[in-house]
Amino acid sequence: MNLEDNNIQFILDKRGWSQQKLADKVGVYQGDISDIALGKRTRLTLVLAAKISKELGYSVEFLWPSLFK
């Protein structure tokens, strides 16, 4: 699974949100969001992906397009 190709930091920057704000909304540490946004995280649960997607208002497919190629 390629989690490196994601749009999370782009969306955060566009909204003026910090990684901490997203982390608080989905119930994880800021470092977890950083690792996910930088593609350093090699595993991601569907539940967490869905929470991030919901908070950002985008589909999982948009946030991680390489997973659906």
pTM recorded for the entire structure: 0.84
Please say if the pLDDT value at position 4 is more than 80.
no
Domains defined for the chain, CATH in brackets? 8-68 (1.10.260.40)
Q: Which residues of 52-68 are buried (b: 16+ CB within 10 A; e: fewer)?
A: bbebbeeebeebbeeee
Predicted local distance difference test score (pLDDT) of residue 5 = 66
User: What pLDDT digit, counting tens, does each position of 22-49 carry?
Assistant: 999 999 999 999 999 888 887 888 899 9
Q: Residue 49: which of 35, 64, 39, 34 has the closest Cα? A: 64
